[in-house]
Amino acid sequence: MLIRRKPDIPSSEITDEKVYWNRRAFIRAAAGAGALALGAPVVNRLVAAAAGGRRDGGGQQGALEDKLNTYEEITTYNNFYEFGTGKGDPAKYAHTLRPRPWTVEVTGEVHRPRVYDIDELLKLFPLEERVYRLRCVEAWSMVIPWEGFPLASLLERVEPTSHARFVEFTTLYDPEQMPGQRRAVLPWPYVEGLRLDEAMHPLTILAAGLYGKVLPNQNGAPLRLVVPWKYGFKSIKSIVRIRLVREQPRTTWNLVAPHEYGFYANVNPDVDHPRWSQKRERRIGELFKRPTLFLNGYADQVAHLYAGMDLRKYF
C-alpha cells in the first residue's frame, strides 16, 4: 500500500457509540435485503474501521489537529447547484432526489462495459471508512468520515482498454428530481473528469455514506466521487455514468469559467483563485483560518502524479 499510516486519531474522537451502532442500519439500508448473506464480512470490516483501522486523513498535517466536523455541519453546508446555489439549499431541497432505484453506467474504453444497479455495486465492493479533509475552492474546509470504496476496484473490474487515458463522470440530469437544473446557472448535467492515474489512485474513492450512515441526498446520494487532494467541485455527486475516454474530458466549472477553474483543480496555496487567495482556509467550526496545505496535505501520497508539471499552468 502506498499510503503511509499517520498517527491515528483516537477512535473515541471519531466515532461515538451511537454512530457505531448506526452502522448496522446503514448496511441494511445501503445493501438492501439481498445483502443479508454478505452482512457479516461487511460488518467486520466496518468494525475494524471504527476501532481505528484505517485513517487516511493523516498526511502532512502541521501542528494543527484535524478534528471531525459534525454530521450537522457536513449535511447542512455545502454546494450542490442541482438544488440551488445557496449553501443551505441542498439540505433544504434535496428531498426530491430519489436515490433508489439507481443505476451507474460504466462504459467507454473498457472491455466489460456494464450498467450496475447501485445495490449491486455496494455488494461487490465493501465499504470502508475514510476520514478525509475536504477543501472547497471557496476557501473553507471540513474533515469528513466517508464510507466508500476505491474507484480503482470498479475500474479494474470493467478492464480499461489500452486507449483509456481519462475518466469522465456525469451527474443525473432530471429537473424533476433536481429542481436547480430548471435554471441554466450551469450547463447541465454536471460533468467532471480525472486522469486515469488519478482515478486509479488508492485515495480516490466512490462514497456511499458518511458518519456510518447512508449518504444523505444533499451530499450526493447514492454515489459520489471523493478526491481529497483536489478542490471539492471535482468530487462529483449523484453519479449516473462513468466513461473511460481517450481525450481529456470537459468539466463543468472549467467550461463556465476556464480562467478560474482548471481541469486539475489540485489544492494549492501558491496558486490563487483570480478573485481570492487560496493561501488560507476556514475550517468549518473554527474562527481562525488555517494555512492551506499543498495538495490538501496529501502530497506524500499524490505529488508524484504531477512530477515535472507546471502547476500554475495546469491549475
Partner 1 sequence: MVVRTQGWWVRRVVKPAVFVLALWPLAWLVRGALAGDLGANPIEKITHWTGFTALTFVLLALCVTPLKVFLGLPALVHLRRMLGLYGFFYALLHFGVYWVDQTVFAGVGFSPRLVAEDVLERPYITVGFTAFLMLVPLAATSADRMVKRLGARRWRALHRLVYFAAAGGVLHYLWKGKMEEDWAVAYGLLLVGLLSWRLVAGRLRERARAVPARGVMGVVPAHPSPLEVGD
Query: Residue 74 or 194: which CB sits closer to partner 1?
Result: 74
Residue 63 contacts partner 1 per CB under 8 A: no
Closest distance to partner 1 from the beta carbon of 140 (Å): 6
Residue 312 contacts partner 1 per CB under 8 A: no
Residue carrying the nine cell digits 455541519 = 73
Hey, which residues between 264 and 283 contact partner 1 (CB under 8 A)?
A: 275-277, 280, 282
Query: Residue 242 or 293: which CB sits closer to partner 1?
Result: 293
Contact 200, 268 (CB under 8 A): no
Q: Which amino acid is at 254?
A: N
Closest distance to partner 1 from the beta carbon of 142 (Å): 8
Binding mask 99-138 for partner 1 (x = CB under 8 A): ----------------------------------------
Query: Residue 1 or 184: which CB sits closer to partner 1?
Result: 184
Q: Which residues of 217-254 are buried (b: 16+ CB within 10 A; e: fewer)?
A: bbbbbbbbbbbbbbbbbbbbbbbbbbbbbeeebebbbb
Q: Which residues of 96-131 are buried (b: 16+ CB within 10 A; e: fewer)?
A: ebebeebebebebbbeeeeebebbbbbbebbbbbbb
Query: Residue 165 or 282: which CB sits closer to partner 1?
Result: 282
Residue 96 contacts partner 1 per CB under 8 A: no
Peptide bond into 7 cis (omega under 30): no
Cα pseudo-dihedral 267, 235, 10, 44, rounded to 10: -150
Whole-Å CA distances, 126 to 3, 38, 190, 208, 301: 19, 9, 27, 11, 23
Closest distance to partner 1 from the beta carbon of 286 (Å): 9
One residue of 87, 114, 157, 195 binding partner 1 per CB under 8 A = 87
Closest distance to partner 1 from the beta carbon of 133 (Å): 16
Instruction: Candidates 59-67, 77-85, 207-215, 235-243: pick the segment binding partner 1 (CB under 8 A).
Output: 77-85
Query: Residue 165 or 290: which CB sits closer to partner 1?
Result: 290
Closest distance to partner 1 from the beta carbon of 266 (Å): 20
Residue 64 contacts partner 1 per CB under 8 A: no
One residue of 51, 185, 255, 309 binding partner 1 per CB under 8 A = 185
Residue 288 contacts partner 1 per CB under 8 A: yes
Instruction: Candidates 39-47, 71-79, 189-197, 295-303: pick the segment binding partner 1 (CB under 8 A).
Output: 71-79
Residue 182 contacts partner 1 per CB under 8 A: no
Which residues here bind partner 1, judged by CB under 8 A? 72-73, 76-77, 81, 85, 87-88, 140, 183, 185, 275-277, 280, 282, 284-285, 287-289
